[in-house]
Structure 1
């Protein structure tokens, strides 16, 4: 496994114990975490919560409920070369502190063989240590996930060996509280056996922060969109083509206080217009749309676009890191 110096999305493979998985991922990204993440205002702000009483309770919750992911974070800390307590707190960043606005747009197309497609938006400064990571932890389900430097997998997009597709969108909910951090819930989705198990995990777990999750699985023609916050969890079966950006839109939960950026509002409307009443939708045409030069769907922060064809026995999927170019990653998971 080697670091990527080309500003293209790397492909890496890691395996071993959960600690060893975290260690390898940490070593892969260590230089960028030290040069970019640690000096950042976001890191400094999150570290101000070291003594927050919520953090101590949430640490205990994670260690008790998710001991294997606790070990992944321990390995990540050692691989990066930062104190373990700081690494754990970094994984709570969207829960204990109101994060700056983040992007991502998802297209959901139901049918006998559904399609899920997703723009992953983040900081372009991180792209050299982002990657498509094929991960095989000892004694647990394997998966392939988009990863960010310094964070364990599960908070972008992924496909597990159970054929489960999960895509994640940031939600800027104003209310958070004591519960399991959203990043760790995203990681736990990759160990679920079925769609129903994944939904049950999100519905029944005590939640701290907020995400939108799209879920699909090979052999099951259902797609679900899940909006969860500290206070509520809304599950919507997708029965017609829809899109989701970065704010709550489900009836009964969208009244919660939240940050809605101009970009999220514009992407939600434009993507919805493109799929509404349209036959033979091309998800790439939707996610690569730049018809609004000021508030496009595909932004300067779009790091990758993934398209998942959910079949009866397999997931055929591709990841693109350049508009109009061949995919940088393709897989037949079945």
Structure 2
């Protein structure tokens, strides 16, 4: 635990969406995030129970070897994102290794205990609509209850240093919701190249320790210039992802709008990620925290039970064709144990925010309470350089 951390009293759901606008190198942007949100980051690190488990594994021989191997691989693949993490650590005055453990997540958390059932939990639900009348991507951002009130939105213009450019960094402009202390990208947001996205955590049973953590791949997606560029980032040739997720992408380019879901999993036989790409031409996109097309052996437990329950609830509605219909579905709380909008105070998983991206209005609306019963706390502009 970082020096000076204190366990604060439990906060009720706050109707606040902190937004920070940043410009500079990867390190500078990270440093300013850490400096401005130091108290939020320290409080999250002090209270996030999963981090205690990660640190326990980190102190074992096997856990430390995997940590070191993952860090070495990321120094080769994404050294400039490591500088970002270091900047956050320096700005917030917290240990780098704690922030890197957050990025590794279940790769380190299960290193000495990879069995069935695994206590993975999750709850993000995404719904996309792309038709002549509407271009909508809606998402509930669900996370462990400690994450409630511990997030912020980064609006960043990354101007890489010459050294970072030599290592592959490019200029980036994006806006992303971030859990405290985490890199941007593994939630929802957009970039100025025409990409609007949301992420659903997926839980393959067998992971690949030492390979690219999903948070680095989704961080890199913020720099994607096209769908083919995003596909290359997701495939991660030469290494491949170490855990799993799916990404919902609504792309806008000179040819119009395209809606995709891509499921991503470790390739246990090769050095790349397994991908299943589905383009939605007519039907709406619906995705939760379960593989729907890619044949992967998954964990059993709450994350699967919750996903099946939420998918059942979502499909009780008629296929959505408009923003209002997406809003109503994402606000559903009919489930007794698992809800699309998880607001039960005793639930391990809470919906910390809901987002509605409206491509016709070019707005991103952020709700803290059920979106069909509340006004957005923030309405942010979507800016594309296309």
TM-score by length of 2: 0.78
Given the alignment, which residue of 302, 308, 331 partners 1:265? 308
Given the alignment, which residue of 320, 331, 338 partners 1:288? 331
Say whether the 8 Å CA contact 2:51–2:98 is kept in structure 1: no
Given the alignment, which residue of 109, 118, 123 partners 1:97? 109
Please give the alpha-carbon distance, in whole angstroms, between the structure 1 residues aligned to 2:51 and 2:136.
36
> Which residue is 2:266 aligned to?
230
Say whether the 8 Å CA contact 2:252–2:258 is kept in structure 1: no
Bigger shift: residues 5-14 or 15-24: 5-14
* Deviation, structure 1 residue 298: 0.6
1:128–1:297: structure 2 CA closer, same or farther, 3 Å change rule? Answer: closer
1:200–1:272: structure 2 CA closer, same or farther, 3 Å change rule? Answer: farther
Please give the alpha-carbon distance, in whole angstroms, between the structure 1 residues aligned to 2:364 and 2:39.
30
In the alignment, does 2:375 pair up with 1:333? no
CA deviation string 1:261-300 (max 9, x = no partner) = 3222111121133243x55462100101122243221112
Unmatched tracts of structure 1, length 5 or more: none
SS in 2 for 1:103: coil
> Which residue is 1:118 aligned to?
139
* Deviation, structure 1 residue 56: 1.9
In the alignment, does 2:259 pair up with 1:212? no
> Which residue is 2:271 aligned to?
none
SS in 1 for 2:91: helix
> Which residue is 1:182 aligned to?
214
Question: How many pairs does the alignment contain?
Answer: 326
SS in 1 for 2:364: strand
SS in 1 for 2:16: coil
In the alignment, does 2:184 pair up with 1:153? yes
* Deviation, structure 1 residue 39: 4.7
> Which residue is 1:11 aligned to?
19
1:329–1:35: structure 2 CA closer, same or farther, 3 Å change rule? Answer: closer
* Deviation, structure 1 residue 254: 3.8
> Which residue is 1:63 aligned to?
75
* Deviation, structure 1 residue 124: 4.5
SS in 2 for 1:38: helix
Please give the alpha-carbon distance, in whole angstroms, between the structure 2 residues aligned to 1:125 and 1:14.
26
Please give the alpha-carbon distance, in whole angstroms, between the structure 1 residues aligned to 2:15 and 2:85.
26
Say whether the 8 Å CA contact 2:89–2:95 is kept in structure 1: yes
* Deviation, structure 1 residue 6: 5.1
CA deviation string 1:53-94 (max 9, x = no partner) = 222222122112112211101111112322223322321113
Unmatched tracts of structure 2, length 5 or more: 1-10, 111-118, 161-170, 268-273, 344-349
Given the alignment, which residue of 109, 126, 147 partners 1:106? 126
CA deviation string 1:190-243 (max 9, x = no partner) = 001012211221124411110111012223421111111112221111231131
Please give the alpha-carbon distance, in whole angstroms, between the structure 2 residues aligned to 1:39 and 1:327.
28
* Deviation, structure 1 residue 7: 4.7
Say whether the 8 Å CA contact 2:174–2:192 is kept in structure 1: yes
Please give the alpha-carbon distance, in whole angstroms, between the structure 2 residues aligned to 1:70 and 1:280.
40
Say whether the 8 Å CA contact 2:204–2:265 is kept in structure 1: yes
TM-score by length of 1: 0.89
Q: Give the CA RMSD over aligned residues.
A: 2.3
Please give the alpha-carbon distance, in whole angstroms, between the structure 2 residues aligned to 1:181 and 1:195.
21
SS in 2 for 1:173: coil
> Which residue is 1:48 aligned to?
56
Please give the alpha-carbon distance, in whole angstroms, between the structure 1 residues aligned to 2:186 and 2:48.
20
Say whether the 8 Å CA contact 2:185–2:222 is kept in structure 1: yes
Please give the alpha-carbon distance, in whole angstroms, between the structure 2 residues aligned to 1:256 and 1:6.
38
Say whether the 8 Å CA contact 1:114–1:222 is kept in structure 2: no
